């Protein structure tokens, strides 16, 4: 049997993935586990977390609300004290709300800000404090094709994902000198629970297939390679970068 390429081998590393009981977060957790990492699943629903961990066969669970600054710090500090270092963080927790901007509810806007961008700050800071002390760490923030592009009806979501891209640059600027690599993955349109309404809409799917050079929806497993790369020694001099995994949609008019 061929030995894994050491550049992409995550054996001995521990990865925390927020929002990982389903969808993209779960797929990335499985992908990192397959590359040798021990994974820590996060979410607010302990039953869903337990089911996801059982499906993976061997995974830690760490239930906390990623929008609660003090709760995040307590959970991260407690895990590190009991189980050791978190070497890799994937900030994946996110939500969507679709309404035309002139009628967008203020409370929904605030929830988007807290879930999609404040959580990246809260969890990123809590984990980075430990990584800085060790002089090493990998942080991957899940951005979006909306980091670069906008569509009708999701202006606040677009704003949050633009902020994720810029916060990633800020993390790299502040923390690269401490040995951290902080980057982002920007998925295009993937068949996930968050996009269920769009997947079920034949008109939207037809538009997407014409608009995307690859001509189709993405499969969540197609994000794994990017995540393993950015989690591994292979990306040791990659910092502040947003990697678009979008079938070419940001490359064409």
Residues, the chain = 253
Measured CA to CA in angstroms, residue 214 lies from 89, 178, 185 at distances of 30, 39, 18
Question: Distance (Å, rounded) from C-alpha 239 to C-alpha 91?
Answer: 16
How many Å is the Cα radius of gyration of the chain?
Answer: 18
In the sheet with 88-91, reading across from the earlier edge strand, the strands are 60-63, 38-43, 14-17, 88-91, 137-142, 180-187, 242-245
- H helices of 84-221, in order, are 106-112, 119-134, 155-175, 196-199, 202-211
Question: Distance (Å, rounded) from C-alpha 112 to C-alpha 122?
Answer: 15
Report the relative pairing of strands 137-142 and 180-187 from DSSP bridges.
Answer: parallel
Question: Distance (Å, rounded) from C-alpha 136 to C-alpha 169?
Answer: 17
Measured CA to CA in angstroms, residue 98 lies from 36, 44, 72, 156, 206 at distances of 38, 23, 28, 9, 19
Residues 6+ apart with CB under 8 A from 239: 172, 176, 181, 182, 183
Catalytic residue IDs: 157
């Amino acid at each position: 049997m061929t030995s894994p390429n050491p550049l992409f081998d995550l054996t001995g590393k521990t990865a925390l993935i927020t929002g990982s009981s389903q969808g993209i977060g779960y797929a990335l957790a499985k992908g990192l586990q397959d590359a040798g990492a021990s994974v820590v699943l996060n979410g607010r629903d302990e039953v869903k977390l337990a089911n996801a961990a059982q499906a993976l066969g061997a995974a830690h669970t760490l239930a906390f609300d990623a929008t609660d600054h003090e709760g995040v710090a307590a959970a991260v500090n407690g895990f590190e004290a009991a189980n050791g270092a978190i070497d890799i963080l994937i900030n994946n927790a996110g939500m969507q709300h679709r309404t035309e901007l002139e009628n967008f509810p203020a409370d929904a806007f605030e929830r988007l800000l807290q879930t999609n961008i404040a959580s990246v700050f809260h969890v990123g800071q809590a984990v980075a404090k430990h990584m800085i002390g060790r002089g090493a760490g990998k942080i991957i923030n899940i951005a979006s094709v909306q980091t670069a592009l906008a569509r009708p009806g999701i202006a606040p979501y677009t704003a949050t994902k633009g902020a994720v891209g810029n916060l990633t640059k800020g993390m790299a600027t502040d923390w690269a000198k401490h040995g951290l690599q902080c980057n982002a993955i920007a998925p295009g349109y993937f068949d996930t629970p968050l996009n269920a309404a769009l997947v079920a809409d034949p008109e939207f799917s037809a538009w997407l297939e014409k608009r995307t050079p690859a001509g189709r929806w993405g499969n969540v497993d197609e994000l794994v390679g990017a995540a393993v790369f950015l989690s591994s020694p292979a990306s040791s001099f990659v910092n502040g970068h947003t990697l678009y995994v979008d079938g070419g949609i940001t490359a064409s008019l």
